[in-house]
Amino acid sequence: MKRTTIVDVGRHAGVSTKTVSRVFNDEPHVSDAVKQRVRAAASALNYHPNVFAQSLVRRRSHLIGLVYEKPSASYVVELQEGVLERLEGEGYRLIVIPVQSVQQNAADIVGLLRAAALDGVVLAPPASDHLMILAQLDAAGIQYARIAPTRQLELGSSTLLDDVAGARAVAAHLLALGHRDIGIIKGDPDHAATDARLIGYGEAFRDAGCTMRLDRIETGLFTFDGGHAAGRRLLGGTDRPTAILVQNDEMAVGVMLAARELGLSLPDDLSIAGFDDAEVSRIAWPRLTTVRQPVFEMAVAATDMLIADLEGRASQRQTHHTNMLQVRDSTAALPRPTAPGDPSA
């Protein structure tokens, strides 16, 4: 079949090729009636504009990048779905740019974004907090929106989340259940969320009049394998905690496996709480107590602000989002010790 061209559309609509070009490039000085006639002709002929040719005319690529670092699969899906939801009908296409380590590859990331000729980029943590990347994007004139940053919030547009409050809430939940010997498995030291969540745990311990034991803190790097190994270290001896706070759900499921390998019953012998409310938290057994992060909503909001910046429209520079504690089956009250002669023993 012969490919339909802009010339065919012009003949069908009874207008010049230049007028058709003006319609599809959203140029001024074309009446609504002519626009309607041209678009009707394009639809009848099944014609679709060449986006690359349009990019050359407008000096815009209409490409939006999404930069993220090896997070859990469910986190990536929510990020992408949020960005794509907001791009629907806007004429932009998404370029996904996963990075193995933002810290190790920071010098190359902006070069990669420039080579991709992006109009703008959405930065997920930890790239959203990397000041060198932000400075180089500013120097290159590439617009950006940041998801959950914690530093220099005046730079770019940002969706903000209080990880300290979320961590404080989940730690307070375990403390209210009577647990005092609580282990902690933190994430990647290069992520600002790791420190923020540790601060939140500390605030909950302080409010309960307890001390957070440093010898009960392990690192799991936000991965299942890291959580499993850290869980084995915490639970392998006879002196083990009665509960564990884990800084994401993927690590928490790794801890669940370690506990079962050691013959522990959940939550009778051990309570486990995660963070993120990833899909795995709802299909694990027992279902995981966790903190819901509104990743999808933050991705939508960040993309909305980026589009507004690209189109020169006024918009919010920051949006605020709230974590929510999800209490499920993986946490339970610390059993009351029984005294000799207690009839309940």
Q: pLDDT, tens digit, for every residue of 119-138?
A: 999 999 999 999 999 999 99
214-248 confidence digits (pLDDT tens): 999 999 999 999 999 999 999 998 899 999 999 99
Residue 238 DSSP code:
S
Tell me how many degrees the CA angle 251-179-211 measures, rounded to the nearest 5: 90
What's the average model confidence in pLDDT over 136-159? 92
Does 50 score more than 70 pLDDT?
no
pLDDT for 280 equals 92
Structure confidence at residue 322 (pLDDT): 93
**Cβ contacts of 334 within 8 Å, gap of 6 or more:** 177, 178, 179, 180, 242, 243, 271
Q: What pLDDT does residue 340 have?
A: 53
- C-alpha 152, offset from chain centre: 19
pLDDT of residue 344: 47
What is the rounded average pLDDT for all residues in the chain?
Answer: 89
Exposed, middle or buried by CB within 10 Å (0-12, 13-18, 19+), for 317? middle
CB 136 within 8 Å of CB 77: no
**Alpha-helix residue ranges (DSSP H) falling in the chain:** 6-13, 17-24, 32-44, 51-58, 73-87, 102-115, 131-140, 163-176, 192-207, 224-235, 249-261, 279-283, 295-311
pLDDT interval class at 105 (50, 70, 90): confident
* CA–CA distance, 164 with 132 (Å, rounded to integer): 25
Identify the pLDDT of residue 109.
87
Range name among 53-62, 94-103, 154-163, 267-276 with the lowest pLDDT average: 53-62
Using CA atoms, how far apart are residues 272 and 247, in angstroms rounded to an integer?
A: 11
- pLDDT recorded at residue 54: 53
| 186-199 tens-digit pLDDT | 999 988 899 999 99
* Alpha-carbon distance values, 202 to 205, 217, 245, 327 (Å): 5, 12, 12, 20
**Lowest-pLDDT choice from 17-31, 81-95, 144-158:** 17-31
- The percent of residues above 90 in pLDDT, for the chain, comes to 63
Name the phi and psi angles at 126, rounded to 5.
-90, 0
Q: What is the pLDDT of residues 244-290, one digit of tens each?
A: 999 999 999 999 999 999 999 999 999 999 999 998 999 999 999 99
pLDDT at 2: 60
pLDDT band at 56 (very low <50, low <70, confident <90, very high): very low
Residue 343 predicted with pLDDT over 70: no
Structure tokens at 330: 């993986």
Question: 273 forms bridges with which residues in the sheet?
Answer: 245, 289
Residue 278 makes CB contacts below 8 A (sequence gap 6+) with: 72, 74, 75, 248, 249, 250, 290
Cβ atoms of 20 and 13 within 8 Å: the answer is: yes
Higher pLDDT, 298 or 26: 298
Name the band, by pLDDT with cuts 50, 70 and 90, for residue 24: confident
Q: How far is CA 202 from the centre of its chain?
A: 24
- 3-class secondary structure, 246: strand
Query: Quick one: pLDDT at residue 332?
Result: 97
Burial 147-186 (b: 16+ CB within 10 A, else e): bbbbeeeebbbbbbbbbbebbbbbbbbbbebebbebbbbb
- Name residues whose C-beta falls within 8 Å of residue 245's C-beta, 6 or more positions apart in sequence: 167, 170, 171, 174, 182, 183, 184, 185, 201, 273
* Rounded CA separation 13/292 (Å): 53
What's the whole-number mean pLDDT along residues 3-10? Answer: 84
Mean pLDDT in residue range 323-334: 97
| The pLDDT of residue 241 | 97
d(CA 61, CA 93): 9
